[in-house]
Structure formats: structure tokens, C-alpha cells
Amino acid sequence: MDQNTRLPMGVPGEADDDTSLLRLIVEHIPNMIFVKEAANLTFVLFNRAGEDLLGYPRAEMLGKNDYDFFPTDQADFFTDKDRNVFEAPGVLDIPREPIETRDQGRRWLHTKKVPIVDADGDPAYLLGISEDITEFVETEDRLRIYEQFLREAPIGLCLYEYEGDGVYRCHAINRMMAAINGRSVDEHLGATLSEIVPQMAPTLQPIWDRVMESGDTRHGEVSAPDPRRPDEEAWWLTSYCRLRATNSARQFIGGAVQDITALKRAESNLRQALAENRDLTEFAYMASHDLKTPIRNVGHIAELIREEFAGRELPGDVPLYLEELEANARRGQAMIDGLLRLARVQTEGGDMTRQVDTDALVAGALRSLAGEIEATGAVIEREPLPRVAGDAAQLGQVFANLLANALKYRRPGVTPHIDVRGGSDGTYAVISISDNGIGIPHHQKDRLFTMFTRLHAAGSDGEGIGLALVRRIVERHGGTISVQSQPDIGSTFTFSLPLL
């Protein structure tokens, strides 16, 4: 386009051969072409491509201006640009502008506008040519989103160009990958693998060479000294693939990297804990086996002494000593049995995916305590409980222990009142067992669920394993247990179990 296009002979006017040819060309150009009068910016010419783009027939457009067809903000923009053309003669290039069409919604145009002057050099018309660049704009937007995603992705992404002879030069890298390598993005670009991570290059280069040679994608774990802390080993989950340029012989290797160092350390700690737990379980079995016989022998010796002196009076305090000896033997046997039950929670537990009727478990526990309930006149209140997933035999021990404790640790002269309630939070059943007993001293709460801790040790029996067993069973099922208590008011044990 010339900076100022002069009005050709016959436009407007009678069509001669040149004008007819010009109009024919304009009509068949695939871009929208329009002409506006300079005075009022009304359309005086419109081609077929413009009709197809905007969805308006030219007969409807001619003699009208932008405000008759487009939203005010767009009409203001078009009009402002039109006036700029006349104020600063020359080609006005508008690289991107939106336009609302009748049938195709919003489209994007690349428009050029130029004034058409008359014989005296005064602006008479405005000529505009608009190319529909909607597909280009949408593609550009998608690419921009892809670039943002790749740049901000929560895993490390990198692209290295293969230059031959084992040389890989960084072409692109995102922030996460740069952070994994302990360098900035700018420090990566243009640098080779061995320059960026010299301590990892001996591990990575053979892997990349195989990928480039075979073309196969390679997935796996890689360990090497951590680039950020060279004295520590780090682990990454990696995927590498070969990429080839479409219009050249250039080859690249693309990589996706996830730092799994924390996960590997957690796995190591878990294996160690499992091994220690296994060792503890084995110790419990061996200790209980080794201790059972001597403890049983202590009780047997006391029996032999009584048989030996049957019908005769034992001298001095011997009868008291024998009673103490037999009581200690019974207590030692009970502790060994409790320790074994504790150990078996993990090793001999049943299927924890079966449906468990917790109401039935409560009913069973109450039946086993019927004698004590009747003797104490205990009042039991209960509401329907949610069904859970778990090992019914083990969960039965939870209810049996907690209900037995609620009866055992009652206040003298006060009728026991036990309340069993339950609900759910959508994922777990939450069950509570409350009593109006003697409560738990504050100093005992912190160690309440540890082994060999007995509530109110003075004057109470038991091996001190019941609540430790309860906690072990609840935690094996993925739940938690806690207690709220006030001395001389009562206690509430609350525990959670997974819903079916």
C-alpha cells in the first residue's frame, strides 16, 4: 500500500474496464476489504470476504457506521483508529483487534488502514484490509498456557539438545528442575550437562545415550549425590525420551524428574520400624515362653509346700509368704498373657475389610459383664452405632476393656452410669464410652495407654496392659483414641474406626 492512495478515475463514478477489474479483484480477495467515507466514516464498499466474516450482507452495511453493528467499546476503538489514519497519513498497522460478529462470536483481526485522498490531496475515503487471525491468536494463547504450565509445573522438566559425542546442552528448563539442580534457570541455558551437574553426569549420560540410540522412553529411579548437598544422596523418579526437530536434523532429549528423596527416606524409616516391631514381637514371644515356666514353677512350689504341711500349722508368717508368692505368680502369668495378646495384635489379626456390627460387639461385652452389672445396679444407656470395617474379634476386645474399666473404677456408694454413643464424620465412625466413675488423675493421662500402666494402682488389680491393647487395636485399624476425664466426675473414652 502507498502511504496515501489517490482516488482512481471512476471511483465513484461510471465503471470503466480498469475499475471493473479492480472491483473484481477486491471481491475475490480472501481478506475483508472495506472503504469508509472520510467525513462520517460510513461504509461505502464491502467485499464478499467481509460479508462472510461479519455475517452482515453489504446492503445492510453500506451507509452505516461501526456503532450500528458492534459494541460501543469496539466501535470507539475502530473510530479512534480511523481518525488516527487521517491525522497521521500513512499505513496504520493494527496487529490484533477483536471484533464481535453476528454468527461466529468474537474473532480476531490483523488490520491495516490507509487514507484515500482526492485530486487535491485531501482525505476522501479510508481503505481497510483485515485478515482473520483468530486461529493464530487461539494457538498463541494455547502455547502461552502450555509454556506457563511447563514453567510452573510441580515436577522438574528439561530439554537438552544432543550435539554428539555424549554432549548434551540445555535448551529449556523449568523452575522446579532448576531448583532440583540447585541453580537458577539462566545458569542452565546453554550449559552442558557435565557443567551443570558434574556429580550426576556420570550417572545420567549413559542413560541418555541409550535413549538417544534406541529411541525408547526410559522410566526409572536414579540416585546420585544431591547437587544441593553433595555430601548427601538423593533419589529421583525420572522419565526420558528422544525428540527430533521437524525441519532439521537436530535431536533433543526431554526429561521429567520428581524428587523422591523424602519418600525414600520415609520408606527406609518404615522398613526399620517394621523390622524393630518384628524384633519386638519375636522378643515378646521368646520372653513370654522363657518366663512362663519359672513363674509356673513358683506357683507349683507354693502348692507343694501347702501339700507337704497339709493338716499342720505353718510356722510364723509362712502362710502370708505363701499367699504373696501365689499372688505374684498369678500376676506374672497375667502380665505374660497380656504381653502376648499385645504382640498378637499385629501378627495374628484377622481381615480388617469385613463389615463389623459394633452394636453386636457392645451387646456381647455387656453379656460377659452381666453379673457385675446386676451386682452394682449399673445403668447402661446406648444408642445405635455405625457399622465399621475391621477385625471383629479384636474390636470386641476394645469394647470389653473399656466397658469393664467403666464398671471397675466406679465411685463407692454411687450407682455406675455408662453411656455408649456413636456417630460419623463421613469417613470414620466416632464412638464414645462415658462413665460417672472415679475419673483419672491428671498426672496419669500422659502415660495412660502405655504398657504396664495401671489406673489407681493402689488397690487395683490387673496387669496394666488393657488400655495399651485397646490403643494398639484402634491404631491397627487406622483410628485414634483419646480420653477426657475429671477426678470424682468420670471419664469419656473416644475412639475412631473406619466406616465400611
Chain segment 293-316, per-residue pLDDT in tens? 666 666 677 777 777 677 677 666
Mind listing the domains of the chain with CATH numbers? 5-139 (3.30.450.20), 153-259 (3.30.450.20), 268-347 (1.10.287), 355-498 (3.30.565.10)
Q: State the pLDDT confidence band at 66, using cuts at 50, 70 and 90.
A: very high
In the DSSP assignment, the letter for residue 456 is: T
Which grid coordinates belong to 38?
Answer: 472520510
Is the model's pLDDT at 45 over the cut of 90? yes
**pLDDT score recorded for residue 131:** 96
Looking at the chain, the whole-number percentage of residues with pLDDT higher than 70 is 82
Chain segment 115-155, per-residue pLDDT in tens? 999 888 889 999 999 999 999 999 999 989 888 888 888 89
Q: Which residue has the higher pLDDT, 62 or 342?
A: 62
Question: Closest Cα to residue 219, out of 184, 183, 257, 247?
Answer: 257
Q: Which residue has the higher pLDDT, 315 or 92?
A: 92
Which grid coordinates belong to 332?
Answer: 506374672
Q: State the pLDDT confidence band at 450, using cuts at 50, 70 and 90.
A: confident
Is the model's pLDDT at 457 over the cut of 60? no
pTM of the model: 0.48
As a whole number, mean pLDDT of residues 196-218 equals: 91
Chain segment 213-229, per-residue pLDDT in tens? 999 999 988 888 888 88
Question: Closest Cα to residue 180, out of 155, 147, 146?
Answer: 155
**pLDDT score recorded for residue 108:** 96
Q: Which of 43-52, 64-73, 349-358 is predicted least confidently? A: 349-358
Chain segment 317-358, per-residue pLDDT in tens? 767 767 777 776 676 666 666 666 666 665 565 677 889 999
CB neighbours of residue 53 within 10 Å: 22
Asked if 63 and 43 count as a contact pair (C-beta separation under 8 A), the reply is yes
Pairing of strands 233-244, 251-259: antiparallel
Pairing of strands 106-117, 218-225: unpaired
Which grid coordinates belong to 472?
Answer: 494398639
